[in-house]
């Protein structure tokens, strides 16, 4: 889960794991649901979303794709990982692997998201998606475009979608919009014009757009917050950074005191990241990619306290 460091007053006593009120838009600014759509999309576009997620029947052949089978390498590898992780549930023999591979193939064959055409992939690249293919992660500089430009194939992207995180809802929206444009289909719901909701009173939408979240008060304390929801504290407030680092290491928020220190120096960690082919949770990812420092450099950052008394 994403984590962020916050400096709050030492007597800050907001309940743990409860979203900070200042991050939640007031109820009076929330519009009523649109009576004619679920997410702001017209019926044709909504059906395309259902195809993407396999909520209505999808045939890979409709996109010119070959259906997955139990012997497709990516399917077989995923099934083997599932069996190895829970042999008491699946069984641990070849028959168990085959059953799981067949199940996965049936599941994934029913989803458009695993059977994209090259036109679909091109739309994702044009929209700045698929960085795993078109960019390289460079420590201290972030994602950098590959030179020469790499244009992933549909086959490569479809195989990639069977590993790790795969596609997200933004990718779905890009591909659905591109398909609507190509096929001259209506994208947005005409009733709410794509908002997915209707105003309860004139001007409500403008008031809602003008609303801004309010951060918790600042102070001398050190506290760990989660960022998966709007944001809530997940640790007590500590008077020193090293105390928070120790708490993180002792409560499985970091694999070690040093990893927690690296996170605190950075101040933020994503949900997860990949380094050298290894999938790491966010704090460990930050620890693995953070710039290394030495005694003569700018380490530690101002305000970071250590158990041995170094400042």
pTM, 2 dp: 0.61
Q: Is residue 59 part of a domain?
A: yes
Give the DSSP H/E element, type plus range, for residue 200.
none
Note whether residue 101 is domain-resident: yes
Alpha helices in the chain (DSSP H): 43-53, 73-85, 87-90, 94-109, 118-126, 131-134, 154-160, 169-183, 204-210, 241-250, 257-266, 282-289
Is 140 part of any domain? yes
Verify that 56 and 176 share a domain, yes or no: yes
Judgement on whether residues 71 and 179 belong to the same structural domain of the protein:
yes
Q: Cα separation of 243 and 263, whole Å? A: 13
DSSP single-letter state for residue 225: E
Question: Residue 59: which domain range?
Answer: 33-183
Q: Please indicate, yes or no, whether residues 168 and 244 belong to a single structural domain of this protein.
A: no
Same structural domain, 42 and 16? no
**Within this chain, do residues 38 and 102 fall inside the same structural domain, yes or no?**
yes
- Report how far apart, in Å, the C-alpha atoms of 5 and of each of 2, 256, 265, 285, 308 are: 11, 17, 9, 16, 22
48 and 152 in a common domain = yes
Same-domain check for residues 278 and 139: no
Q: At what angle do helices 73-85 and 94-109 cross, to 10 degrees?
A: 120
What is the spatial distance between Cα 168 and Cα 151, in angstroms, rounded to a whole number? 20
pLDDT tens by residue, 198-240: 999 999 999 999 999 999 999 999 999 999 888 999 999 999 9
Residue 112 lies in a domain: yes
CA–CA gap between residue 97 and residue 99 (Å, rounded) = 5
Tokens of 75: 């399917």
Q: Are residues 38 and 128 in the same domain?
A: yes
| Residues 239, 162 share a domain | no
pLDDT value for 57: 94
Q: Are residues 57 and 161 in the same domain?
A: yes
- pLDDT digit of tens for each residue in the chain (311 aa)? 799 999 999 999 999 999 999 999 999 999 999 999 988 999 999 999 999 999 999 999 999 999 999 999 999 999 999 999 999 888 889 999 999 999 999 999 999 999 999 999 999 999 999 999 999 988 888 889 998 888 999 999 999 999 877 899 999 999 999 999 999 999 999 999 999 999 999 999 999 999 999 999 999 999 999 998 889 999 999 999 999 999 999 999 999 999 999 999 999 999 888 887 788 888 998 888 876 543 333 434 444 343 333 33
C-alpha pair distances (Å), 106 with each of 58, 101, 205:
11, 9, 43
Residue 299's CB: how many other CB atoms inside 10 A? 14
User: What is the total count of domains within the chain?
Assistant: 2
- End-of-domain residue from the set 183, 203, 235: 183
Q: What is the pLDDT of residue 292?
A: 52
**Does residue 302 fall inside a structural domain?**
no
- Please check whether residue 47 lies inside any domain of the structure: yes
Crossing angle of the two packed helices 257-266 and 282-289, in degrees rounded to 10: 80
Are residues 170 and 133 part of one domain? yes
Q: In this structure, what DSSP letter does residue 303 have?
A: T
DSSP labels, 149-180: PP---HHHHHHHTTSTT---HHHHHHHHHHHH
Helices 43-53, 169-183: inter-axial angle, 10-degree rounding: 130
* 232-233/221-226 β-pairing: antiparallel
Q: Which residue has the tokens 């709050």?
A: 8
- For 212, residues 6+ apart whose C-beta sits below 8 A from its C-beta are none
Same domain flag for 103 and 220: no
Q: What is the pLDDT of residue 291?
A: 65
Q: Is residue 248 within 8 Å of 235, Cβ to Cβ?
A: yes
Check residue 167 and give left, alpha or beta (phi > 0: left; psi -120 to 50: alpha): beta
> Is 108 within a domain?
yes
Residue 193, in any domain of the structure: no
Total Cβ atoms within 10 A of residue 75: 23
């Amino acid at each position: 889960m994403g984590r962020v460091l916050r400096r709050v007053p030492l007597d800050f006593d907001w309940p743990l794991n409860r979203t900070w009120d200042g991050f939640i838009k007031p109820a009076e600014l929330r519009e009523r649901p649109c009576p004619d759509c679920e997410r702001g999309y017209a019926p044709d576009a909504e059906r395309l979303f259902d195809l993407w997620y396999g909520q209505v029947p999808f045939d890979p052949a409709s996109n010119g794709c070959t259906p997955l089978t139990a012997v497709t390498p990516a399917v077989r590898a995923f099934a083997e990982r599932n069996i190895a992780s829970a042999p008491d549930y699946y069984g641990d023999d070849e028959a168990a692997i085959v059953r799981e591979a067949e199940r996965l193939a049936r599941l994934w064959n029913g989803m458009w998201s695993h059977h994209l055409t090259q036109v679909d992939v091109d739309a994702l690249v044009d929209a700045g998606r698929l960085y795993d293919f078109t960019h390289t992660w460079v420590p201290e500089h972030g994602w950098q475009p590959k030179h020469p430009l790499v244009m992933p194939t549909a086959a490569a992207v479809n195989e990639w979608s069977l590993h790790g995180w795969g596609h997200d809802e933004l990718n779905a929206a890009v591909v659905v919009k591109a398909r609507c444009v190509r096929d001259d289909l209506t994208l947005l719901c005409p009733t709410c014009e794509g908002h997915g909701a209707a105003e309860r009173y004139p001007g409500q939408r403008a008031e809602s757009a003008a609303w801004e979240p309010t951060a918790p008060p600042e102070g001398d304390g050190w506290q760990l917050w989660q960022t998966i929801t709007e944001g809530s504290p997940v640790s007590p407030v500590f008077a020193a950074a090293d105390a928070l680092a120790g708490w993180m290491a002792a409560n499985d928020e970091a694999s070690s005191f040093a990893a927690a220190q690296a996170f605190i120096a950075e101040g933020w960690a994503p949900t997860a990241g990949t380094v050298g082919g290894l999938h790491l949770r966010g704090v460990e990812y930050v620890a693995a990619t953070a710039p290394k420092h030495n005694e003569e450099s700018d380490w530690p950052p101002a305000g970071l306290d250590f158990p041995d008394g170094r400042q």
